[in-house]
Amino acid sequence: MQNSVVQWLEYTARCFPEKIAFVDNKGSYTWAEVRQKALSIAKQIEVIVPGRKCPVVIYMEKSTDMLLTYLGVAYSGCFYCPIATDMPFVRVEKIINTLQPIMFIATRENSEQIGRGKEIDFCGYVLCFEDITNEMSENFALNNNIQGGGIEAAQFVDRILDTDLLYVLFTSGSTGMPKGVAVTHRSVIDYIDWVTDQFNITEKDSIGNQAPFYFDNSILDIYSSVKTGAELHIISEDLFHQIPQLLQYLADNKISTIFWVPSALSQVAWSKAFETVDLSKTLKRILFCGEVMHNKTLNLWRRHLPNVQYANLYGPTEITDACTYYIVDRPFSDDEPLPIGRPMRNTEILVLDDQDRLVTEPDIVGELCVRGTCLAAGYYNDPERTSQAFIQNPLQKAYEEKIYRTGDLVKYNEYHELIYLSRKDFQIKHLGHRIELGEIETAASTIDGVASCCCLYNPMYDFIVLFLEGKSYTSSEINKKLATLLPRYMLPSLVICLDSLPLNANGKIDRVKLKEKYIN
């Protein structure tokens, strides 16, 4: 029985000790080196907090070293929480107050910011990555016969339960207080087993990572690699602003699999860089998640790379990254919505109406709720918000069975595929009508010259604002085009054309920044 993700690392390091594991712009590690350094980190944590399953904050730039630290914390039986080094210190303070960590692990340079009275006011232990990974001993040498280092590893691995936490990722909260989503080893194992089976990912693959390591999309990249031995490339953020060089990187490094947010794929699609680099013999799978993928963008990819497998994954952080999927298997017009598909293995989707009745018929709107091993353990140190989102299944009262309310509105189409409509809080009442802002975005995305779009609502003045990236249009020009697709009451009151829409750290359209600058 598998109890932890580090059992994957034990197996992979034995099968492929000299194979490249992780690559960034500073270098690479083999699987044997990953295991050795992770065990060294675990040993140092064990010295300070023997046997305690406590939170460890990782305060490092995105790198291969950060991945070693994740795995070292996992070996120790503790759980990790990444904090971005460019995060405002006010937000860092809120996270620390919720998490109450006993230690930080940081690079030597970043550790100078942490301590009593410093930018990050913290009085616990601060471990320097460079120091703890250089203190390796022969006890951690790879040995297929479970001697020496094998015994040391077993002492760590055998005491981890699959219900123990692996990580806590903090997401934004509507109250301004970040929410720490706590996820167990068991949930990650369940998810990655499905991913690698469904997409046939093996040690022969190379994965090109885009997602920040504090963003849940990175879970697929990291642990698919650890499980299978696939080579994981941490692509420099700078390359996503240099599209021809980005595509050349994919070709040069024989990247077979990418799992990116739609905004990143959209930048590539509209850059016309496809004409300069041939990826037809390189890319096998293009997976995406995190926001709506418009078929107008996807159709550009499909025309240039028709033989690639495309898959739309859906899910919030609270269900271990994703819970539904759709393998793109038929043509779509630019103005059609792309399905989010059907439940992943060992997951049940419940579409509930506003009376908590199960929706099964097509075209009836309901809230998407999730049941299964994928559910997070809740919000860390936040029982009130946990009880609001992780509730008793209203369809059965006989025993405790939690479901997660996503707050996302969906419906079934004629194929019984799930169609994402909008967030509940994106649903507005305007001129007496209930409107899904996502529907306006879908329509606007089909207009010629529109590379990306975002729709927001100003409740104070009761008007809809549509932001466009690409060709410059007037409000009347846009509404004339939208009038053929939408009823009059859904037409935006104001259209703002920008050279580019702002993106947040996860690569998604930054709706908060747009709202602060143009709406408030």
Q: Where are the beta strands (DSSP E) in 16-164?
A: 20-24, 27-30, 55-59, 79-82, 103-106, 114-115, 120-121, 125-128
Q: Tell me: pLDDT of 289 over 90.
A: yes
CATH topology of domain 1-14+27-160: Rossmann fold (3.40.50)
User: From the CB of residue 520, how many other CB atoms can be counted at a distance below 10 Å?
Assistant: 7
What are the sequence ranges of the domains in the chain? 1-14+27-160, 431-519
Instruction: From residue 64, give the alpha-carbon distance in Å to each of 90, 129, 133, 434.
Output: 27, 12, 13, 47
Question: Which CATH architecture is the domain 431-519 placed in?
Answer: 2-Layer Sandwich (3.30)
Q: Same fold for the domain at 1-14+27-160 and the one at 431-519? A: no
Task: Give the lowest-confidence range in 14-28, 135-149, 381-395, 440-454.
Answer: 135-149
User: From the CB of residue 427, how many other CB atoms can be counted at a distance below 10 Å?
Assistant: 16
Q: Check: CB of residue 103 under 8 Å from CB of residue 56.
A: yes
- Predicted pLDDT at 174: 53
- Predicted pLDDT at 175: 58
Tell me which amino acid residue 498 is.
Answer: L
Q: Check: CB of residue 378 under 8 Å from CB of residue 405.
A: no
The residue with greater pLDDT, 123 or 148, is 123
User: What confidence tier does 299 reach under pLDDT thresholds 50, 70, 90?
Assistant: very high
Q: Tell me: pLDDT of 141 over 70.
A: no
Percent of the chain with pLDDT over 70: 96
pLDDT tens sequence across 174-222: 555 789 999 999 999 999 999 999 999 999 999 999 999 999 999 999 9
Q: Tell me: pLDDT of 426 over 90.
A: no
